[in-house]
Amino acid sequence: MNENTKIKTFTDLKVWQEGHKLVVLIYKITDKFPAKETYSLTDQMRRSSASITANLAEGFGRHGYKEKLQFYFLSQGSLLELKNFILIARDVGYLEPKDFGSLVEQSNLTHQLLQGFIQKTKYILNNK
């Protein structure tokens, strides 16, 4: 999408697109986790990753910038929660180094975009 393209839906947001890539990556990688983790670490990682994009979508649908910002901060909290689970999964031996690297790279990219998105929303809120 070029810079002149109008954002019409949450799926047009670059931060949502990169977050969605992270969710898909989490689902694929956690498929390799031991079955005993299905209702613990696997489930927590999947829920927190899906919460990142779900809160972006919900915030996008809100009308006031203060309310939007609240959901974008919830998204950030879910992202940090996921980063914690990624470290746990690595430290207990569930992640191959390649998978760990991919998750760190994608979560950091998503985090960077989300930080910028939050800052832009704050700017709009404070300059209305």
Each residue's pLDDT expressed in tens, for the chain with a length of 128 residues: 455 678 999 999 999 999 999 999 999 999 999 999 988 999 999 999 999 999 999 999 999 999 999 999 999 999 999 999 999 999 999 999 999 999 999 999 999 999 999 999 999 999 97
Fill in the amino acid letter for 30. Answer: T
- Which residues contact residue 15 at a Cβ distance below 8 angstroms, ignoring those fewer than 6 apart? 56, 110, 113, 114, 116, 117
Level-2 CATH architecture, domain 11-126? Up-down Bundle (1.20)
**Spatial separation of the C-alpha atoms in residues 117 and 19, rounded to whole Å:** 13
**Spatial separation of the C-alpha atoms in residues 42 and 91, rounded to whole Å:** 14
Assigned token pair, 85: 């689970």
**Spatial separation of the C-alpha atoms in residues 119 and 71, rounded to whole Å:** 13
Domain ranges of the chain: 11-126
